[in-house]
Amino acid sequence: MMPEKGTTMRFIDLHCDTLGTCVARSGGKVRLAENSCQLDLKRLKAAGSMAQVFAAFLPTHDTAKEDGITLGPQDLFDQIYACYQKELRINRDTLAPALSGEDILKNDRAGRLSAILGVEDCVLLDGSLRRIASLYKKGVRVMTLTWWYENSLGYPCSPIPADTARGLKPFGKKAVRRMQELGILVDVSHLSDGGFYDVASLSQELHVPFAATHSCARTLCQHPRNLTDDMLRIIGETGSVCGINFCAEFLNGRSGKYTRIDDIVQCARYIRDKAGIDALAIGSDFDGIDSTLEFGDCAGLPKLADALAMYFPADEVEKICWKNALRVLTDALKGTAHRK
């Protein structure tokens, strides 16, 4: 899909919540093609997007109650998945599923935006490795291991040192290996610090990259969702990526919910210095955050690219905006079971 006239940069965004939180919950009132949310296909096309990871966010506990969700994780995923399939059919001229890095390039040559299906919070696995294979067959290619609650894999990040030090549970380690074997990108966003190091160790053993699809730098902003300098170093050393989250709370640490372009650029420069240019990507978290963005919404991504170009050479801006994400998706989605 070629960007519209005046747009030169391409984009791959590793995380948005539009499908699950806006479209699937609307009862058919909100469509993916065009809406009033932070992201839709019309604006993505105009911005020059190549691929978008659509997360099926599965809230539980108090969050589910606050959102009025009565379905359990599996039933909620099934609802979102049905919505995803419907949107693919409705928008088949402009949108196509991508199950591999090669699919992204093939879809692009055909003039279509690639949709990559993800799951945010593996609570639906409930200790079953078979469910990973089932999700893989449905097209899931990115899995965020935890959200803000403990599940059968491990624990979420926490401001309490003893809590965030806890690593993956035995099943969590088996699940990560199974995901990497099949060809699912493992996402450590929201995961405890101990869990991060467990994923990194497993990934190094198998020589498979992982991702923090929508996270920022903890030194710049002391939030437990962000990554320490040591974590960023490991991401760089393993050929993995950190997709910068556009949430103001993770970027600037100031009161208020306004995200400046300079906040994102500052984070990108910091991560480049700690992890290397190949570790940078975009993980907007569109429609999963309530921050007001200086550049508006997904249509403003070219403005972000222009701002990055003031501090990074052209080839590095390309890496941040899409090339690093494509490399990691291509490598991780091959699966270790298929490597010889």
**Average pLDDT of the residues of the chain:** 95
- The verdict on pTM exceeding 0.75 is yes
For residue 1, is pLDDT > 90?
A: no
Q: 10 Å Cβ neighbour count for 254?
A: 12
Sorted by sequence, the CB contacts under 8 Å of residue 202 that are 6+ apart come out as 173, 176, 177, 180
- What is the pLDDT at residue 87? 98
Instruction: Reduce the DSSP state of residue 173 to 3 states and report it.
Output: helix
Cα separation values, 339 from 186, 203, 332, 334, Å = 18, 15, 11, 7
Rounded Cα distance, 301 and 49, in Å:
9
- pLDDT above 70: percentage of residues in the chain: 96
Rounded Cα distance, 147 and 332, in Å:
21
Rounded Cα distance, 165 and 236, in Å:
21
- pLDDT above 90: percentage of residues in the chain: 93
pLDDT tens-digit map of 186-221: 999 999 999 999 999 999 999 999 999 999 999 999
Structural domains of the chain sorted by starting position, each given as residue range(s) with its CATH number in brackets: 11-334 (3.20.20.140)
- What is the pLDDT at residue 253? 74
User: What average pLDDT does this structure show over 114-134?
Assistant: 98
pLDDT tens-digit map of 39-61: 999 999 999 999 999 999 999 99
- What is the pLDDT at residue 208? 96
Lowest mean pLDDT among 63-67, 196-200, 292-296, 323-327: 63-67
For residue 3, is pLDDT > 80?
A: no
Predicted confidence band at 281 (pLDDT cuts at 50, 70, 90)? very high
- Strands (E) in the chain, as ranges, are 11-16, 49-57, 95-97, 113-120, 140-144, 185-187, 211-215, 241-244, 258-259, 280-282, 292-293
User: What average pLDDT does this structure show over 218-242?
Assistant: 97
